[in-house]
Structure 1
Amino acid sequence: MSGGISEILKNCVNQEKMADVELIVGKDEVRFQAHRFILALVSPFWRSKLYTEGWEKQETKGKITIKLPELDPKLFGMFLEFAYTRKVTMKNNVVFELWKVADQYGVPQLKQYCADLFEKTLDATNCINFYEFGVTAGVEEWKVSAMDYIKGNTKQVLSNEECFVGVKEETVQSILDIEKLYAPEINILKALVRWGKDKKEKEFPNDEGVTFRNILKNFVPQIKLDLMSFTDLDYIKETQIYGPNDLLQIAVELANNFKLNIKPLTRAGPQIQNLKVLLLAGARRGTNRLEHLKGTIMSGGIEMVDIIDISATAVTFEKMNEYDTIVLRSQNGVDMVENMRLGNDLARYVEGGKGLTVIAINSLINTDGHRVKGRIVDEAFIPLAVAERVQQDERELGEIHLPEHPIMEGVQSFKAKDYAHLIGTQDINGGTKIASWNNGFPLITEKTKQESFGTVVCLNFHPMSTQITNDCGKAWLRETDGAKIIANSVQYVGMKIYKN
C-alpha cells in the first residue's frame, strides 16, 4: 500500500467522513472535522476535554460538537494539520501564535516544529519580534539566537523601515546595551526616531502632555553624536529632539571632524562592513553548515560573504582577487577540485598583500585529496604544518600567548562539546602562537612571510558550533566565544589591506 498509515492520516485531515468531533472555531464559526482519538493522542488538553465529564460540549448521534469562539480558525487549522501529518503549511509570520497554541494544548512536538522554523527563517525583518517573543514565552534559546543575529547584522536590522516599530521599551534598551554595534550611529538614531513616533501615534495620539521628545528622553543621551558625520547634521536637526544650543555644539564638533577628515566609526570601532569575503569550502553535508559558517563570519559586522563550493568548482585567481580576504575550509570526505592549483593561487593572493584565514580542519589533514596543496603549503605560508587529525579529551582554551591581540578581543572562553578535533602538530612553520588548547596544541596562529605580504591566520578547531550540530562532540559550545574568534580573525586579516 503506497504511503502507508501516514498517507491515510493525511487524507483524513478535516474530512467529515467517519469524523466523530466537530469543532466550531472563531467568531465566524468555521467548522472543522476531526477524530477524538487523534486529538487525544497528540494533546493532553484535548484528551481531557474530550474524555472528561464537565466540559461544555454537545453530543449528537455519537459526534461531539465543541465551540472555540476565542481561537483563530487559521491557527486551529494548522494545529489540526500537524495532529494528523506532523507537518504544517505555515508562513513565519504566524509562528509565534502557533507556538502559543501548541503550548496551550501541550504539544511539545509542534512547539519544536515552530522553533525549528524560527531558526530557518530568522532575518533582519523579524529578529526583533522573535527576540521579544522569546522573552514573553520564556524560551531562552530563542532569545539568544535572535540577539546573536541582531549583533551580527545590526546595520541590516536597523536599516529596515519597520525596525523598532511597536517593540517594547525594554527591547530597545537591550539592543542599545549591546557592547558592540556594527552599524553607523545615524542608523541607530533613525531607528529610535521611528520607535518614538510610532509610540506617540499609537499610545498618546491626543495627549499634548506627552511629546515625542519626552518619549525619547531616556534614549537621547545614549546617542553617540561623535560617531556621526557632518552630512548627518540635517537629519539630526529634523528630529527636533535637540535644543538650539545642543545643535550648535553638535555642528561645531562634526564640522571639525569633517575638516580633519576623521571618518565616522561604529560603536565597535572602524567600519568594516564593506569588506568583501570569499568562503572557499566543501559542501559534502549540504549548504546548512556553510551558511552557518558564513553567519559566524558575518557576526562581527561584515556584510558580504560569498561561498564557492571547492568540491565542485575550480576557483580562478582572478575570481579570488575580487575579494578583500578569503576563508579556506575543507571537509572530510570531499576532495578539493584542482587542490594544487588552488594552493598556488592562494599563495599569489597572499603575496599580493591580502589576508587568508585557514580552518585547519580539514584543510591541513594529511589526506591526499581533502587538503590544500601547492605553494601555500610547500612554501610554509600557513602557520601550521600538514599532519594527522587527532581527538583530545582536553578540549578548551588554554594559554593565551598574546592577550592583547585583536583576535582575542572579547574572547573569554572557548570549549568543544566533548572532545577537541584538531591537526595534531606543534609545527607552526615559523609563525606565532596567539593561543593554545589546554592540551598544548596550537589553537590560533598567524604568520606574515614578508612585510608586503598579507597575513595568514590558522584556526585549529572544528568551525561548527552546537547551534547547528548539537549531536556532534567536536562542535564548540555556542555559549563560548568561537564566533568571536572566527569573526575577529577574518576582520583582522581583512583589515590588514588598509594598514597604510
Structure 2
Amino acid sequence: MVSFVPSRVVTLSIGLALSASCALAQVDVAIVAAAGSSAADVRFTDVQAKLMGTGEFNSVTIINAGNLGGGVTPTLTDLQAFDAIITWSNQTYLSADELGNVLADYVDAGGGVVVAVFATSTTTVGRSLGGRFRAGGYEIIPTQGGNTAGAASLGEIIEPTHPCVQGVSSFIGGTTASRPTNTNVSDHGFKIALWSDGKTLIAGSTRFRNRIDLGMYPPSRDALTTSWDPATDGARIMANALLATISPPRCIADVDDGTFTGTPDGGVTIDDLLYYLTLYADG
C-alpha cells in the first residue's frame, strides 16, 4: 500500500530544514583597529579570542590598521571578504581619513561596521575615523567628545528587545571603564544601553541598519588589568553588535550533489532538499 505524506507536512519539513540550515551558517568578521604595536599584540588577540569564544563566528581576522608594526589601510575589496568589522583605536590609525573613506564605502555596500572606544571618544588627532565616514554622517556617537574613566558597570537598558542586548545581564567595566564623555548621539542615532553613570554604552542608527557604536574599550582585563571583567558580558556585547549589523542569512538552493557532503553540483535537484532534510533531522 502506498502511503502519502500530507503536503502541509512536507511544506513544514522543508521550511524547518531550511531554517535549520540557515541557522547553521556562521559569519566571518574582522578586527580592523589601531590597537597595539602589531597584529600579535594582546590588545588585538584578546578581542579575537573573546569573540571566537562566543561561538558565533566562523572566523575573526585581525587587520592592524595602526601606524605601528606594519599596519595597513585595507581596501574595500579586502573588507568584502567579511560580513562585518569592528574598529577601535589605542594609537594613531595609519590613515584615519583613508580608513574612513573605505569604511563608508563598506557600509554603503552592505557591510557591518562597529566602532568602539577610543575611536568613539578620543580627542587625539588621527585616532578617530575621518574622511567620508565623518563628513558623510556615518558616526552615531559623535567623535572627539572626550573620555571618562573610573569604575562603572551596566546601567539602564533602554531598548530591551534590541539584538545588541540579548543575553546581556551584567557588565563590569573595570577600574578604568573608558567611555565617551559626550552623552549625545547623532540625529539618526538612538541609545540602546547606558553605563551606570548614564554615559552611552551601545547606540544604533535609524539611517544605517548596519552600524553600531560602542562606548566601551574592547580589550578585557585579560589584556589590560584595568579593563572590563571577562566574567561578565563584554564579549557578548561585542558579538551582538557585530551580528546586529549583518543582514539576515540567505539560504542557498544548490547545496549538495547527492553525496551528502554539502558539495554543490551546479543545479537544484531533489538531492538539495534531501540534504536540507538531513541537516534538520540531525538537529
- The TM-score with structure 2 as length reference comes to 0.75
Deviation of 1:485 (Å): 0.5
CA distance in 2, matches of 1:294, 1:438: 26
Corresponding residue number in structure 2 for 1:350: 107
> Paired residue for 2:47?
293
Tell me which residue corresponds to 1:277.
Answer: 29
- Give the C-alpha shift of residue 448 in structure 1: 4.0
Instruction: Please give the per-residue CA displacement for 1:451-488, whole angstroms capped at 9, x wherever unaligned.
Output: xx54210111111212333x3x2x11111111111111
Q: Which residue of structure 1 aligns with residue 230 of structure 2?
A: 478
Contact 2:121 2:147 in 1 (8 A): no
2:20 maps to which residue?
265
1:232-271, aligned counterparts within 5 Å?
A: 258-260=13-15, 262-265=17-20, 270-271=23-24
Deviation at 1:404, TM superposition (A): 1.3
Structure 2 equivalent of residue 323 of structure 1 = 82
* Cα separation, partners in 2 of 1:411 and 1:350, compared to 1, 3 Å: same
Decide whether the 8 Å contact of 2:190 with 2:206 is kept in 1.
Answer: no
Question: Where does residue 63 of structure 2 map in the other structure?
Answer: 308
Q: In structure 1, what is the equivalent of residue 259 of structure 2? A: none
After superposition, the C-alpha distances for 1:151-199 in whole angstroms (9 at most, x for unaligned) are: xxxxxxxxxxxxxxxxxxxxxxxxxxxxxxxxxxxxxxxxxxxxxxxxx
After TM superposition, the structure 1 = structure 2 runs for residues 433-444 of structure 1, keeping only pairs within 5 Å, are 433-444=191-202
State the SS of the aligned residue for 2:73. Answer: coil
Matched to 1:298, the amino acid is M
2:204 match:
446
Q: Percent identity?
A: 25
8 Å CA contact 1:354–1:454 kept in 2: the answer is no
CA distance in 2, matches of 1:454, 1:486: 16
1:477 maps to a residue whose letter is D
Q: Which has the higher contact order (CA 8 A, sep 6+)?
A: 2
- Name the SS for the 1:494 alignment partner: coil
Q: 1:258 to 1:415 in 2, by over 3 A?
A: same
Cα offset for 1:261?
A: 6.5
1:461 aligns with 2:216: yes
Q: Which whole-Å CA distance do the structure 2 matches of 1:497 and 1:348 have between them?
A: 21
User: Aligned letter for 1:378?
Assistant: A
Residues 383 and 429 in structure 1, CA contact (< 8 A), matched pair in contact too: yes
C-alpha distance 462-265 of structure 1, shift in aligned 2 (>3 A): same
Counterpart pick for 1:415 among 172, 187, 200: 172
What secondary structure is seen at the aligned counterpart in 1 of 2:57? coil
Gaps spanning 5+ residues in structure 2: where? 1-6, 252-283
User: What's 1:240 paired with?
Assistant: none
Asked if the contact 1:394/1:439 (under 8 Å) is kept, the reply is: no
Which residue, out of 182, 186, 202, partners 1:429? Answer: 186
Question: 1:385 — aligned with what?
Answer: 142
Which shifted more, 436-445 or 255-264?
255-264
**Offset, 1:360:** 2.6
Distance in 2 (CA, whole Å) between partners of 1:254 and 1:484 is 37
Structure-2 separation of matches of 1:258 and 1:378: 50
Question: In 2, distance between residues paired with 1:380 and 1:284?
Answer: 27
Q: Aligned AA for 1:376?
A: F
Equivalent in the alignment of 2:255: none
**Partner AA of 1:464 in structure 2:** P
C-alpha contact 2:120 2:215 (8 A) present in aligned 1? no
Q: How does 1:20-419 map to 2 (within 5 A)?
A: 258-260=13-15, 262-265=17-20, 270-273=23-26, 275-286=27-38, 287=40, 288-300=42-54, 301-311=56-66, 312-331=71-90, 334-362=91-119, 364-419=121-176
* Cα separation, 1, equivalents of 2:179 and 2:89: 13
Q: Distance in 2 between matches of 1:435 and 1:272?
A: 28
8 Å CA contact 1:354–1:496 kept in 2: the answer is: no
Change (3 A) 1:261 1:394: closer
- Helix, strand or coil: the match of 1:412? coil
Change (3 A) 1:310 1:497: farther
- 1:387/1:424 contact within 8 Å kept: no
TM-score by length of 1: 0.44
RMSD: 2.6
* 1:409 to partner: Cα distance: 0.9
Query: For residue 265 of structure 2, what is the aligned residue in structure 1?
Result: none
Look up the match of 1:155: none
Q: CA deviation at 1:498?
A: 5.3
C-alpha separation in 2, matches of 1:328 and 1:454 = 17
Query: What amino acid maps onto 2:211 in structure 1?
Result: V
Give the superposition deviation at 1:427: 1.9
1:357/1:459 contact within 8 Å kept: yes
2:250 equivalent to 1:494 = no
Larger radius of gyration: 1
The answer to whether the 8 A contact 1:399-1:437 is kept is yes
C-alpha distance in 2, partners of 1:253/1:292? 49
Contact 2:51 2:239 survives alignment (8 Å): yes
Counterpart code for 2:202 = I
